């Protein structure tokens, strides 16, 4: 795609870790985008395989190779610092295990024109395996869970027009570059997961509104990069960061109610995981609780990265 100043330019922040084929498919889908220019800040977190030739040969890509796996947050910051040099009008955090519909980014950009109060905007994200089932399409924030209640389960339930939501997913989250400067520079030690909850909350605290654009579609090959939702990596970082971000963003009775909920979930899963024949996850969950309560995000177990 030839960049043109007549078109809005979207800078894509993307991280790769041992998933070059998924990343290639995602990039190919982005380069088919209609009505916008695309530049991609691609950061590799020290994958086992070297970067394939298409990375260097794609003019829309600015590439950086990390010497270690520094995580999603640090990777996005580096990707942002690369794309901002290319005079972008918007930035979108986008998982590399996604594929973007040709009109998706243009529809998200149009929402900023239709709704000048937009902070964050997200497409409807479906499962790649079943594109009629919603993986994430915004939702209502539930403080006691430090999470979101999904508004829609299937594509048929989606409204036609953009709707305001509390929370959007970092899997596909667009904003103006100046907002990323204010909410995107989080502590890299938090690594991955739940950073999008805080970003959604901060956007609203600043007086912006977060929107879902249902007509914009992205498919998601869920959690392939981290080994699945029941991998030690996913269980550890989701459980640890949920507590850390709750303590950073909740107060009073909301924080008290969350702590009760968090402990209840931990105890319940201590029983459920062995029943599901994945009892090894109990160790990682309780270690995550310990590190979360101690507020020690620097304590990243190296075994999770072997």
CA 220 distance to own-chain centroid: 11
86 CB neighbour count, 10 Å cutoff = 15
Task: State pLDDT tens for residues 15-62.
Answer: 999 999 999 999 999 999 999 999 999 999 999 999 999 999 999 999
Q: What is the C-alpha radius of gyration for the chain, rounded to an integer number of angstroms?
A: 19
Asked whether the beta carbons of 92 and 174 are under 8 A apart, the reply is: yes
Secondary structure (DSSP) of the chain? ----TTS-EEEEEEEESS-HHHHHHHHHHHTT-SSSEEEEEEEE---SSPPPHHHHH-TTEEEEE-SS--HHHHHHHHHHHHHGGG--SEEEEE-TTEEE-TTHHHHHHHHHHH-TTEEEEEEEEEESS-TTBEEE--EEEEGGGTEEEES-SBGGG--SS-EEESB--TTEEEE-HHHHHHHT---GGG-SSSHHHHHHHHHHHTT-EEEEEEEEEEEE-TTTTTT-TTSHHHHHHHHHHHHHHHHHH--HHHHHHHHHHHHHHHHHHHHHHHHTT-THHHHHHHHHHHHHHHT-TT---GGGG-
Place of tokens 């919603």: 134
pLDDT band at 303 (very low <50, low <70, confident <90, very high): confident
The residue assigned the tokens 């950086």 is: 64
pTM of the predicted protein model = 0.92
What's the confidence (pLDDT) of residue 180? 98
Q: What are the tens digits of pLDDT across the range 88-137?
A: 999 999 999 999 999 999 999 999 999 999 999 999 999 999 999 999 99
Q: For the segment 263-286, what is each residue's pLDDT rounded down to a tens digit?
A: 999 999 999 999 999 999 999 999
Domains belonging to the chain, first-starting first, are 9-220 (3.90.550.60), 232-305 (no CATH)
Going by C-alpha positions, the residue among 43, 114, 112, 107 that lies closest to residue 80 is 43
Residue pair 150/212 in contact by the 8 Å Cβ criterion: no
Tokens coding 120: 């964050």
Of 42, 77, 83, 78, nearest to 63 (Cα)?
A: 42
């Amino acid at each position: 795609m030839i960049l043109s100043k007549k078109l809005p330019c979207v800078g894509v922040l993307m991280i790769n870790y041992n998933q070059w084929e998924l990343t290639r498919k995602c990039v190919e889908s982005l380069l088919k985008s209609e009505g916008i220019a695309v530049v991609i800040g691609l950061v590799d977190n020290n994958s086992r395989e070297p970067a394939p030739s298409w990375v260097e040969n794609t003019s829309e890509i600015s590439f950086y190779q990390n010497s270690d796996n520094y995580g999603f947050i640090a990777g996005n910051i580096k990707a942002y610092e690369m794309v901002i040099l290319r005079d972008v009008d918007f930035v979108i955090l986008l998982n590399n295990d996604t594929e973007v519909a040709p009109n998706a980014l243009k529809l998200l950009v149009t929402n900023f024109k239709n709704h000048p109060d937009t902070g964050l905007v997200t497409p409807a994200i479906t499962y790649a395996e079943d594109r009629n089932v919603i993986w994430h399409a915004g939702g209502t924030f539930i403080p006691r869970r430090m999470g979101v209640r999904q508004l829609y389960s299937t594509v048929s339930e989606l409204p036609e027009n953009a709707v305001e939501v509390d929370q959007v997913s970092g899997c596909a989250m667009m904003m103006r570059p100046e907002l990323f400067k204010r909410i995107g520079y989080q502590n890299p030690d938090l690594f991955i997961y739940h950073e999008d909850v805080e970003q959604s909350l901060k956007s609203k605290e600043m007086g912006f509104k977060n929107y879902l654009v249902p007509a914009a579609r992205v498919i998601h090959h869920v959690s392939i990069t981290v080994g699945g939702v029941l991998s030690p990596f996913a269980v550890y970082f989701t459980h640890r960061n949920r507590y850390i971000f709750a303590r950073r963003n909740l107060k009073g009775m909301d924080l008290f109610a969350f702590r009760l909920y968090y402990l209840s979930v931990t105890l319940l899963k201590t029983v459920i995981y062995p029943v599901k024949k994945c009892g090894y996850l109990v160790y990682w969950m309780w270690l995550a609780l310990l590190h979360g309560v101690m507020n020690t995000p620097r304590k990243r177990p190296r075994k999770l990265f072997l």
